Amino acid sequence: MSDPPPMTADAFAAANAVSRETLDRFECYARLLERWQGSVNLVSTNSMADFWRRHMDDSAQLYRFVPESARTLVDLGSGAGFPGLVLAILGVPDVHLVESDQRKAAFLREVARECRIPVQVHNCRIDALPDLAADVVTARALAPLSDLLALAQTVRGSHTICIFPKGRRLDVELTAANKVWNVKYVVHRSRTDPEGQILIVEDYVRVADASLDIRRNAEAR
């Protein structure tokens, strides 16, 4: 089966039901990324041939999993801003982009300023973040699941969910993560990649902590 033709900006707008004003912001973002890509390696060169599908739509599909009640979203290892900047353009409030690379953080700030996207950029390591108590944590192509869950602990609140786009090795990552964490999760198929999956982590706890809680509950009875 041959690959579909590259997605256009208009096709992206139709697929995500965005207004002309919102599409203008996405197109501003795309222009800046193309300009910066020559000097800063923001995304893979091969992916630029189908940029609107591989990056914009791949990120936009996560929007439907963000609870309407969510007030703070933290995007770990934002890089070029996927998915955090995209979700902010779509209307998720109080989005925090975390990027330790100074040049990438500078790119994120310029996009936010030029395209009028209300986000906060944190140019620091994840473990140096303030206590944000996020409602939602996202990360794209940052680390294996077990490591992502450890990183998310830094900004985790009492009812935080994690939304992680993953590839065909998700089962392997879940097996490895289950040695360290007890994870409550749901998996959805990606609409942009036949091998892609979207992992929604609803809750998780370290295995050692879970075992301790079980023992404490048993003793209390």
User: Residue 1 — very low, low, confident or very high, per pLDDT cuts 50/70/90?
Assistant: low
Report how far apart, in Å, the C-alpha atoms of 193 and of each of 23, 136, 167 are: 22, 23, 9
Residue tagged 């979207």 (tokens): 198
| Average pLDDT rounded to a whole number, residues 93-106 | 97
- Percent above pLDDT 90 for the chain: 87
pLDDT of 208 higher than 70 = yes
The whole-number pLDDT of residue 216 equals 43
What backbone phi and psi angles, to 5 degrees, belong to 32? -65, -40
pTM over 0.85: yes
**For the residues 173-188, what does the mean pLDDT come to?**
97
What pLDDT, on a 0 to 100 scale, did the predictor assign at position 212? 43
Residue 217 in this model has a pLDDT that exceeds 80: no
169-184 b/e (C-beta count within 10 Å ≥ 16 → b) = ebeebbeebeebbebe
What size, in residues, is the chain? Answer: 221
First to last CA, the chain: 60
Q: Band the pLDDT of 3: cuts 50, 70, 90.
A: confident
* 99-105: average pLDDT: 97
Query: Residue 184 pairs with which residues in a beta bridge?
Result: 203
Fold observed for domain 9-220: Rossmann fold (3.40.50)
pLDDT recorded at residue 215: 44
Beta-bridge mates of residue 73? 95, 136
Q: Does residue 3 or residue 81 have the better pLDDT?
A: 81
Between the alpha carbon of residue 197 and those of residues 47, 163, 170, 200, the distances in Å are 18, 11, 8, 10
Question: Domain residue spans in the chain?
Answer: 9-220
pLDDT confidence band for 158 (50 / 70 / 90): confident
pLDDT tens-place string over residues 18-65:
999 999 999 999 999 999 998 999 999 999 999 999 999 999 999 999
Mean pLDDT of 146-172: 95
Work out the widest C-alpha separation in the chain, in whole angstroms: 64
Mean confidence (pLDDT) of the chain: 92
